[in-house]
A and B are shown apart, each in its own frame.
Chain A
Amino acid sequence: MLDNVKHIILILSGKGGVGKSTISTQIALTLLEKGYKVGLLDIDLCGPSIPYLLQLENCDVHQSDNGWIPVYTNVSQNLAVMSIGFLLNNRNNAVVWRGPKKTAMVKQFLTDVHWGDLDYLIIDTPPGTSDEHITVMENLKNVKCDGAIIVTTPQQMSIEDVRKEITFCKKTGINIIGLIENMSGFVCPHCTECTNVFSKGGGESLASLAHIPFLGSLPIDPRVGELLGKACVKELSGSTSAQFFDKIIDNLVK
């Protein structure tokens, strides 16, 4: 199913709530803006965020002879999305599953979705180094996977979990494209003073410690979280965040 996908990129972080899904969404949308055909796969089964972030919450997945048809964000079908969120009847329902069931679901997402021709497939993951991650890693072994982008916030508490994720990648042979430090500062809208809410520089020092490329730091911009399906590079063009995504994607497609 992934034969016609040219590039596969994982978005990982040992820590939750650091912005994996927001960054996955913006990376997909930026690639789309640049004219690529993109797929976005959400394998966070207990807390799928992608349908909300792209405002696709009431969409359904259809079955065809070729497998599951992903949800497309527009008629030109340049952005295909798959998430367990599309399979739930009610957005408040919990998916209370143990590992083996999650493993089977992730495997289905990787083998049964008819993505068609894609330039990029972005895979958003839940926090941790457990069932979902092991399954993805095993199933991508035989496919060409470009590697993982790791997301962290600057404070020690997050860095510590992310170090474990880097060990996971190294142990399982996943190439690390680089590390993004998210939420690295907040510019007060009243006095424009920049405060390092969650400290600063942790990502960069982690990257040099672990000998992985540092892709840059992204300040907190509440507007990015509210874009809901719109590309930051287009809507907030000129902002630090837009420049950041522009740069990341230019490096990625090189």
Chain B
Amino acid sequence: MTTNNSSMENSTQVPEHCPGTGSEEAGKAAACAGCPNQQICATTETNKPDPGIALVRDRLKSVQNKILILSGKGGVGKSTVTALLGRTIATTDHDLNVAILDMDICGPSQPRVLGVVDEQVHQSGSGWSPVYVDDNLSVMSIGFLLASPDDAIIWRGPKKNGMIRQFLSEVDWGHLDYLFIDTPPGTSDEHLSAVTYLSQAHLTGAIIVTTPQEVALLDVRKEIDFCRKTNIPVLGVIENMSEFICPSCQKSSEIFKATTGGAATMCQELNVRFFGRLPLDPKVAKCCDQGQNFYDVVPDSPAIKSFENIVQELKKLTPVSVVVS
């Protein structure tokens, strides 16, 4: 299965001052004059709820906890933390079914982190079958649909929106206890689409990932503001790369200095839960680059111990009830 990748959309499709298809002004504003879709907007057809919302709700009925991993900032470890969460839960409790959905369309990282780079997604009667990393850990990413790692997805918003809808409504996950949704940085199309499509699917909440320095916290505060504006419960904040333990002298140093008190202070200011800190361990980073399970390779890493504490707290917040079938 392939998508029409690397294609570029006609950028003149949307008028510059388009009021938005859901707006009261849709089809009536000055900017709408001459837009090929003016008629459709004017009939308020576009104000009806997206049929995708119901599809997503039905598809995700068998998923207990749906958790978004967010961060306003890029490169803070969203994908790594998502993979660590999935791996930790799947490895420590074989009865739980976990899945990861990679919603980063322009920079998918999950296939690499989970070591399934060359896998393919197959279509069946009940939808797309995700790629299984382990018996109880599956993953879906646009990376599986690209022919070459050099392929770029040069898409504007509406096309990304369509892909996200497909990911949420057409993947055959089966019964899941946890679905972790990895997102790209920012507060834009992917995030809004996810929130819209999940609006009736009982989204459990969001985990926010950050690094300690102010330049990251600045963007993360915006992400928390986004969650409040869109009514997503913030489960808590994880501070990644808090300290670096030198492998030769075992002493700790701060690479990304918390000049403004780091995530803990921000959490107090904004009144959200602080899950804890994760040290920067080059060995764990290397495992992620090579797609290995760090539980097999570096089981004694301090990062894993910190992580297990976070997972325990997360499990308390998101209980898994036993399904009687």
Contacts and interface: CB of A to CB of B under 8 A. Distances in A.
B72 A46 contact: yes
Contacts of A163: 149-150
Given A104-B17, A128-B106, A226-B257, A167 B6 contact: yes
Instruction: Indicate the member of A95, A157, A166 with the most B CB atoms within 10 Å.
Output: A157
The B interface is mostly helix, strand or loop, or mixed, namely: loop
A229 interface: no
A47 interface: yes
A47 B106 contact: no
Contacts of A172: 154
Contact of A188 (B249, B257, B286): B249
- Sorted nearest first, the 7 A-B pairs with minimum C-beta distance are A16-B74, A17-B75, A99-B157, A161-B107, A47-B219, A46-B186, A128-B106
B30 interface: no
Contacts of B186: 46-47, 126
B223 A94 contact: yes
A105 to B, nearest CB: 10
Given A17-B216, A94-B225, A186-B244, A193 B285 contact: no
Given A134-B11, A165-B152, A226-B259, 7 more contacts: A14-B107, A16-B76, A18-B75, A47-B219, A92-B270, A129-B106, A197-B282
A225 B192 CA distance: 31
Instruction: Indicate the member of B75, B105, B251, B282 with the most A CB atoms within 10 Å.
Output: B75
Nearest to A88: B222
B162 to A, nearest CB: 13
B289 A157 contact: yes
Contacts of B107: 14-16, 127-128, 160-161, 164
B288 interface: yes
Contacts of A138: 11
A102 B156 CA distance: 10
A78 interface: no
Contact of A94 (B211, B229, B285): B229
A165 to B, nearest CB: 7
Interface residues of A, number: 67
A199 B288 CA distance: 11
Contact of B188 (A49, A91, A102, A189): A102
Interface string B226-238: 1001100000000
B157 A171 contact: no
Contact of B246 (A134, A156, A195): A195
A26 interface: no
B261 interface: no
Given A157-B288, A164-B153, A189-B253, A100 B282 contact: no
B129 interface: no
A46 B213 contact: no
B215 interface: yes
B78 to A, nearest CB: 9
A196 B80 CA distance: 18
A238 to B, nearest CB: 21
A156 B289 contact: yes
Contact of B215 (A53, A135, A167, A198): A53
A189 to B, nearest CB: 5
Contacts of A102: 188
A160 B149 contact: yes
Nearest to B246: A188
A16 B185 contact: yes
Given A160-B109, A163-B150, A91 B246 contact: no
Interface string B80-119: 1000000000000000000000000111010011000000
B14 interface: yes
A13 to B, nearest CB: 9
A47 B222 contact: yes
